[in-house]
Structure 1
Amino acid sequence: IGVAGMLPFRDYVGQRDLDGRELRVTTICVADEISGAAEMVMGKLDAIPVALVRGYEYDRGEGHATEIVREMALDLFP
């Protein structure tokens, strides 16, 4: 996964969900989510080499793909 011109994470900590509960640990890797959505469009065996995502309002910044890789001690799926 590459990240260019956007922050790879969106942090929801401290915000409230639809039931009014405060979110304490919710951070979403939007770079991974976009990649997953693109995979659904391209398919594994359909020979579609690219997917175009339009209209997503992302947080601009100097994000790097290296931020996505977790330390082994923090990884739930090593």
Structure 2
Amino acid sequence: MPSKTVTVGSSVGLHARPAAIIAETAAAAPVPVTLSLPGGTPVNAASGLMIMTLGATQGTEVIVTTDDQPTLDKIADLIASDLDA
């Protein structure tokens, strides 16, 4: 399954608002999407609560994994951007 490592760009990390935006995008994807920290257990990216359990702060590397390349790129771009701006 293709994956991409991206650095969290949001100034407050992946808390409620960024997690909800990412989860909404992942839920609309045609295939499952997971997020994980390097060496960590993958979580369902369609769940804002599961995203928040990663504890990812600004600058944390997150691995996005999915079989759909456009979805992979879109979720990676969201994680890298400052969703609180």
Q: State TM-score, norm by structure 1.
A: 0.29
Structure in which a larger fraction of residues adopt strand? 2
Q: More helix by proportion, 1 or 2?
A: 2
Which structure ranks higher in relative contact order (CA pairs < 8 Å, sequence separation ≥ 6)?
A: 2
The structure that has the greater radius of gyration is 1
